Amino acid sequence: MEINIQSIHFTADQKLIDYITKRINKLTTFYDGIVDANIYLRVENVTTNENKLLEVKLNVSQQTLFCSEQCRTFECAIDLAFESLKVQLKKYKEKSLAV
């Protein structure tokens, strides 16, 4: 699986990139037909503490799964996105096996 990480208007450190890559690679345990993942990291200019926005586009065979999370840290956001994508992958796998 190919993982593309884009940080918009800032430079992500290697520790964050490694953590995101590790979490996304764990998704293959739920469905091994993942083609690639595109992750977008953004820091929003808002007055609240939850200004880290993370978007994940997960391309599986014949469909794209999407998740967007906003949190205080990118680590928290990727953990929430992981749980959401895990549910989406399980549903997609059930649908594809039913057909």
DSSP state of 51: -
Contact partners, residue 16, CB within 8 Å, separation at least 6: 41, 74, 75
Longest CA–CA separation in the chain, Å: 47
pTM: 0.91
**Residue 77 near residue 16 (C-beta atoms within 8 A):** no
* pLDDT of res. 78: 97
pLDDT per residue of the chain (99 residues) written in tens, 0 to 9: 999 999 998 999 999 999 999 999 999 999 999 999 999 999 988 777 889 999 999 999 889 999 999 999 999 999 999 999 999 999 999 998 887
Residue extents of the structural domains in the chain = 2-98
pLDDT at 96: 86
**CB neighbour class for 74 (10 Å; exposed up to 12, middle 13-18, buried from 19):** buried
Residue 13 has what pLDDT?
95
Name the class of domain 2-98.
Answer: alpha beta
